[in-house]
Structures are given as structure tokens and as C-alpha cells.
Amino acid sequence: MISVHCLDVSALDPRDPDLLARVDAQRRERIERFAKDEDKRLCLGAGLLLVEHIGSASVERDERGKPFRAGGPPFSLSHSKTMALLAVGSMGAVGCDVEHCRSLDYLMIAQRAFAAEELRQIERATDPFEMFFRIWTLRESYLKATGQGIAGDPSSVCFEVAEKATLIRPVADNWKFREFSDVAGYRIAVCGEEPIGDVEIDVMG
């Protein structure tokens, strides 16, 4: 079962020595390098989620840049605005994405980054803004689970999004998807090779 954890970092103090002591030295160095407090808080929040749900070992990256912990469970991290997100599996790959549903030129982004079928779904949707963020988070969760990132041909991945989302390209039966709108103003999607649990809202400080 994949567990999903979300943390609002807006109240975190990125200079609090007690909080900084809970994350590893590598993450403390990353926090220090950020110029903006909002970025420091997101980095700290992600580190706190990792410590709480996986442990304190440092994060490494594979040849494609995907983070992992040697000997640890598969996991995926994402953050947007004031939300940090962690999905932790017990086997196989996992990917997650959280996006703040802010104002942007979603049609221009979709024309550049989505498959043609996905663009048509947005244009025909009752709420095209919501449809855009559903497709965006689903695509990102899948690309992170597979380790593909955003490189490559956008049309090689395509979702059909109705009440539930279905990956129609590439054809693969092993992936499971779940979407969440539990946090107001955000969309969350999780992808993995095992069932996905409910999102848990963590509180830390």
C-alpha cells in the first residue's frame, strides 16, 4: 500500500535549530543555499516528511536523477506554493505531484506539453482550468514514477480523464492512479504499482 502525506509548510521557521536538527546535514546545506524563505520552508518540510515516514538516512539519486534511499522503501516527493507532498510505497515504483491551482496560461502550456487528445479534453471540459491541473498532476506523477521526467515526446504519454483517470498511452496494466483534492486550492495525483491509500495531512512544528 502506498501512503500519501501532505504538509503545509507555511508555519515552519526555516531557521529553527530544533527543526533543522531533525533533518540530515545534506538537506540543511540545501536549505541554506536557498535565497527565499518560501523555498527554504519547502525544502525543510520535504525533509521533515522524509524523516517522519522513512528515516534519517541521506537521499541519493540514480543515474536519471530520481531520489532514493539505499535499502529504503520507494518514495516520491513534490512541492508547490506552501505544500510538501510525500508518497511512500512498499514495492515497485511510485510517483507523486502536487500543484497549486494558480492563475496561468494553461492552454499555452497544454499545447506545448500535453498530447493532442489531452488538449481536446481541456478545450471541451466544463471546467477547463480544473481539467488542466488534473492532467498535469497525473502526467507528472507517472513520469516521476517511471523516472522519465519531462524529457521526450509529450504525445508518448496520454490520459483520458473522466470521473476516474485512465492511462491510454503507453498501454500498461501495472500502473495505478489516484487523485486528491483534499487540500483547498491544490490538486494531487499519485501513481504506483500497488494500491494507494488516502492522503494524510501531517502537522509538524
Q: What's the pLDDT tens digit per position in 92-140? A: 899 999 999 998 999 999 999 999 999 999 999 999 999 999 999 999 9
pLDDT category at 172 given cuts 50, 70, 90 is confident
CATH label of the domain that carries residue 27 = 3.90.470.20
pTM, whole model, 2 decimals? 0.93
Could you tell me if 92 and 195 are in contact, meaning their C-beta atoms sit under 8 angstroms apart?
no
Amino acid 64: pLDDT: 73
Give mean pLDDT, residues 173-192. 94
- Closest by CA to 134, choosing from 88, 181, 183, is 181
pLDDT at 91 over 90: no
Using H for helix, E for strand and C for coil, what is the string for 2-61?
EEEEEEECCCCCCCCHHHHCCCCHHHHHHHHHCCCHHHHHHHHHHHHHHHHHCCCCCCEE
Q: What's the pLDDT tens digit per position in 130-143? A: 999 999 999 999 99
Split into its structural domains, the chain has a count of 1
Q: What's the pLDDT tens digit per position in 50-63? A: 999 998 777 787 77
In terms of residue numbers, what domain contains 111? 2-202
Could you tell me if 143 and 150 are in contact, meaning their C-beta atoms sit under 8 angstroms apart?
yes
Which of helix, strand or coil describes residue 182? coil
Which of helix, strand or coil describes residue 198? strand
